[in-house]
Chains A and B, each alone.
Chain A
Amino acid sequence: MTSQQNIQKIRQTIARNKRSDFIFSIIGLSSMVFAILVLALLILDLAMDGLPRLDWQFFTSFASTDANQAGVLAAWVGSLLVMLVTAASAIPIGIASGIYLEEYARKNWFTDLIEINVANLAAVPSIIYGMLGLGVFVYTFKLGQSIASAGFTLALLILPVVIVATREALRAIPSNIREAAYACGASKWQTTWDHVLKYSFGTILTGIIVALSRAIGETAPLIVVGAVAFIAFLPDSLLSQYTVMPIQMYRWTDVPDPEFQANAAAAGLVLVVMTLAMNAIAIYLRYQLRKNITW
């Protein structure tokens, strides 16, 4: 009799626990669905406001006081050029310092310092990089409010990301690859360049894509460095004035006129599609690489 009651009780407890498990998975799932739903809503909202403005004319016109005539020609050309400068400076320096820290650095206080430094730089707010760019590139090196200043500023901003990605990629290469190369008489650099770097190329590339997609969307540091909002010419050198997509969008958002806000939405849609596509490529690459690697 009593044992029967006990069994009853245990069954009840089990049922209750299973229920709380079930309830939690519902809560967990819905909290994630909520987050993803916000993303979907955001894209939908942009698309509804901005899609009608997205035509050929929008990409081939300069900014204008007439909302229907205004376009993003200067902005996307500017973004492209700034990204070229950023990539050309951040990628070699980032990979090189990743290689140094992972393959060459001896354990001493100085390399420790560099490591702590890289970790801390990743947490510095992006707008602070803008002030660094303003103080150093614009005024000290006298590059002015130019594409070069902007590109170098963003390069410093994404440098920690590239360094960390490179290091993680190199760390994933098993040491027997290195030992095999040394055994054949390869020098340290030959081993690194011909083998270690070659095999980690895919993973490094993934990190670089993520870093560049972040740089494309950055607004605050470039406002500080002095990107101009409304310009009606194409830059003729790396020292000329410029604007970029996010700043064009921000300035349009600032104007209360709904027609300009439709322009802002259109620019935003282009930005979101671009950055999400780059992120998606990176995620896909990572997935493929993880699947194919068999050491």
Chain B
Amino acid sequence: MAITSSKQSQVNKLSPKLLRDVREKIIEFILFIAAFSSVATTVGIVGTLLLESVKFFQNLALHRLAASQGVSVEELTNQTVSIGETLTSIWAFITGTTWAPNFEPPQVGILPLVSGTLVTTLVALFVAVPLGTIAAIYLSEFAPPRVREVVKPALELLAGVPTVVYGYFALLFVTPILQVVLPALPAASMLSAGLVMGVMIIPYISSLSEDAMRSVPNYLREGSYATGATRFQTAVNVILPSAISGISAAYILGISRAIGETMIVAIAAGGQPNLTLNPMDPGQTMTAYIVEVSKGDVAYGTLDYETIFAVGLTLLIMTLIFNIIGHWLTKRYRETY
């Protein structure tokens, strides 16, 4: 009798703790599942792009095969494509200089889209890097605290404007103004898209660079001032080199924003795939092409539908390369104080 009651009380004492432990474990598991969602997203992105791209390259090989044999694609639909033929069509995709997916056989050389992306990105960096860096130096080393309190958030607002609005601005405000100076400029050009994109990217560069410069320890500044250097000399010769890893990371982020930016170029760059390095020409970027195809109703499983995944994969690989360079630069040039 006594034993059972003591056992009883032990069970009573134990069970809340057990219950609590179980509850804690369940909660931890739910939280873990949530954290795992980011991995699932990545797997989803890579999986979707790879899967559809493989289909695209096989389909492309089929089209090329049909063209070389002078028959229609439908007659070959059930034929399997060898790995060699798929590899050939991948090579044609990477090195081709004509982008015309609607031709028969389809001409899908990615180079015109890549050149469009590079030109708009370069124009954007041409605006954003100097302005962003100068603004960062000023905010971190020169500006009185009150000015910084006001100006930094105001700059950050630039990044908050929807990009479709920037596109409208580039097409209907910036281009007409540029045409006054450059009468040869067409109504849609990579130049005005790139310039506006540059303004959009300024806060990404200035904010991160400023953070990097502000985290340079004060004794470095004081040491420099003590030798008689001015603010400007200190900023250029001491602060800038010490913060170089953070600043280069900011530049890389700017580049990857510019490569991935879509609406500004879709609206203002002209939408013609053009293998050119002249920013005054109209052009099409990889992102703008994806938008152009998507806004028409593209049937699932057609070559058109699949091209956007191959282009998307190329885009993802390009941004990934820049990210890796960014990580590497940050590690390589990290100053240890």
Contacts and interface: CB of A to CB of B under 8 A. Distances in A.
A135 B48 contact: yes
A157 to B, nearest CB: 9
A272 B161 contact: yes
Nearest to B131: A31
A188 B26 CA distance: 12
A35 B135 contact: yes
Interface stretch (A66-74, A232-240, A260-268): A260-268
A51 interface: no
A17 B232 contact: yes
B8 to A, nearest CB: 24
Contacts of B308: 131, 224
A269 to B, nearest CB: 9
B165 interface: yes
Nearest to B172: A261
Given A38-B199, A189-B24, A127 B312 contact: yes
Nearest to A27: B134
Nearest to B52: A135
A87 interface: no
Interface size class of A (residues with CB under 8 A): 35 or more
B157 A39 contact: yes
B131 A35 contact: yes
B312 A217 contact: no
Contacts, number: 259
Contact of A187 (B24, B171, B256): B24
Interface string A5-38: 0000000000001101100110111011011101
B283 to A, nearest CB: 17
B230 A45 contact: no
B47 to A, nearest CB: 8
A93 B34 contact: yes
B230 to A, nearest CB: 4
Interface stretch (B68-76, B99-107, B257-265): B257-265
Interface in B137-194: 137-139, 142-143, 149, 151, 153-158, 160-169, 171-173
A283 interface: yes
A17 B143 CA distance: 18
B237 interface: no
Interface in B10-67: 20, 23-24, 27-28, 30-32, 34-39, 41-42, 44-45, 48-49, 51-52
B90 interface: no
A251 to B, nearest CB: 8
A31 B160 contact: no
Nearest to A28: B138
B125 interface: no
Given A39-B161, A123-B256, A24 B168 contact: no
B287 interface: yes
Contacts of A206: none
A165 interface: no
B135 A217 contact: no
B39 A117 contact: yes
A289 interface: no
Contact of A125 (B135, B295, B309, B315): B315
Contacts of B143: 28
A42 interface: yes
Contact of B35 (A114, A123, A283): A114
Contacts of A38: 158, 199
B70 to A, nearest CB: 34
Nearest to B294: A224
B256 A217 contact: no
A257 to B, nearest CB: 13
B31 A96 contact: yes
Contact of A272 (B39, B49, B151, B165): B165
Contact of A124 (B137, B151, B235, B319): B319
A94 B130 CA distance: 35
A117 to B, nearest CB: 5
A279 B155 CA distance: 11
B239 to A, nearest CB: 13
A45 B169 contact: yes
Given A99-B31, A220-B262, A156 B41 contact: yes
B165 A21 contact: no
B31 A128 contact: no
A217 B159 CA distance: 11
Most buried by B among A216, A254, A264: A264
B253 interface: yes
Contacts of A96: 30-31, 34-35
A42 B166 contact: yes
Contacts of A224: 290-291, 294, 308
Given A127-B287, A128-B315, A268-B168, 12 more contacts: A28-B142, A29-B138, A94-B34, A104-B31, A120-B42, A134-B294, A135-B309, A217-B161, A219-B163, A223-B294, A276-B157, A279-B157
- The 5 residue pairs across chains A and B that have the minimum distance between CB atoms: A125-B260, A28-B138, A217-B162, A135-B48, A96-B34
23 contacts: A27-B134, A28-B137, A28-B138, A31-B134, A31-B138, A35-B202, A36-B154, A96-B30, A96-B31, A96-B34, A97-B31, A114-B38, A117-B38, A123-B253, A123-B319, A128-B49, A188-B24, A214-B160, A220-B163, A220-B266, A253-B168, A268-B162, A272-B165
